[in-house]
Every structure is written in structure tokens, then in C-alpha cells.
A and B are shown apart, each in its own frame.
Chain A
Amino acid sequence: ETGVTQSPTHLIKTRGQQVTLRCSSQSGHNTVSWYQQALGQGPQFIFQYYREEENGRGNFPPRFSGLQFPNYSSELNVNALELDDSALYLCASSFDGQGYGYTFGSGTRLTVV
């Protein structure tokens, strides 16, 4: 059991570019949620995947999309990057979406210039 790992840890992109962030879930966890945390603020829910299907989405535009794979690893894709997308992106895995069992990764710090 290795916990939740995210890659890369830091990333700098230019406005208008596309980015893919990756998350490896904790062993046995079939649910992954992604959060955006701007500096000095609490995390904001982006979306959740359960058994490779999106089953909930927060107030984020369609240029934020995701995938979950059979091994329960997942990706967050952001197209047409904007300066306001600069944030810490956190993924959290759990079993059957049970919040009590949430395990967060250390996040990817994305800077858009």
C-alpha cells in the first residue's frame, strides 16, 4: 500500500496550452476525486470518477476533463489554459466514494504564465 501519488509535482505552462496531470490511487481504492486549490483558499471540487465513469462534477468548464483507467489511476486534462488555472491540483482516492476513507496526494503545483 503506497498511498496516493501525483505527477509531476511542479509544472509551468503558457496560457493557451494544454496540460495533463496524473494520479495513482491507493491500492484497493476505486474512486478518485480531483480538487483545485488556489493559493490561500480551500480546495474546490472539480469532478469524481468511480469505476472509470464520471459520477459528479463541480462548477468547472468543459475544458477540464478526466479519465480513470482500469487500474484506477487517473488523469486530469485542462485545455486552453488560463492564468487563473494556476493552482495546486489535488487528487483523492477512496473506496466506493466513502469520504471517511479519503486519501489525498501531495498535489501538482501548476503555474500558468
Chain B
Amino acid sequence: GQNIDQPTEMTATEGAIVQINCTYQTSGFNGLFWYQQHAGEAPTFLSYNVLDGLEEKGRFSSFLSRSKGYSYLLLKELQMKDSASYLCAVEAAGNKLTFGGGTRVLVKP
């Protein structure tokens, strides 16, 4: 079966750093995605990890450990506009995405 777990909600202060963890157990693994989704809008692509290690892109970084079935998304220098849901998704067999439940991040001034 497919199981992807991430925290439901996190709160952080503007300018701070937040780390969103994602653990997964899936049959097959092609890659792991992180998406940002504002309320009522489409998910927008943030990062894609295929190999173990850290991928950095501006204020956002994503880490993957395939042996541990673990990933995290790191958001630095938080801004109010970063308040959104963050979705972890695994691409497995047949290029289908299996999503976690999403982590709602609330950035406070």
C-alpha cells in the first residue's frame, strides 16, 4: 500500500525557519515532490528529489533519504506569503502521484 505522513499544522514567526517532515512507505519510488498550495488554488511545484541529499532553491530546500523513507522541506526567512499548505507527494509506478494530507503552515508577524 501507499502511506505518506506529514504533520497537520505548524506555526512559525516571520523571518524564522520551519522544517516540514514527510515519511513515506510506498510500493515503488521514482521521486518525491513538494508542492505549495494556497487555499482554493492549484498546487504549485516547489521541488523534486530523486537521489539522496539536499536540493537548495533560494529560500526553499528539500532533503531526501530513500533508505529511511524520509524527506523534509525547509523554509528559510519566512514571509507572510508563505502561509499555505505544503504537500509531500511520491511518484511511484506508472508516474502517479500519491500525496500526503498536507501541512498547513501559519506565519505570524
Contact = CB atoms under 8 A, between A and B. Distances in A.
Interface of A: 4, 31, 33, 35, 40-45, 48, 55-56, 58, 88, 90, 92, 94, 97-100, 102, 104-107, 109
B42 A43 contact: no
Contact of A100 (B4, B31, B40, B100): B31
Contact of A44 (B31, B41, B99): B99
Given A88-B40, A107-B42, 13 more contacts: A35-B99, A41-B102, A42-B89, A43-B43, A45-B98, A48-B95, A90-B43, A97-B95, A98-B95, A99-B31, A102-B97, A106-B41, A109-B40
A92 B87 CA distance: 15
Contacts of A105: 42
B33 interface: yes
Contact of A97 (B4, B33, B94, B99): B94
A58 B92 CA distance: 13
Contacts of B33: 99, 102
Most A C-beta atoms less than 10 A away, residue of B45, B48, B96, B102: B96
Given A42-B101, A99-B31, A106 B42 contact: yes
Contact of B101 (A33, A41, A48, A102): A41
Nearest to A31: B95
Contacts of B26: none
A35 B43 CA distance: 11
B99 A48 contact: no
Interface in B83-107: 87, 89, 91, 94-102
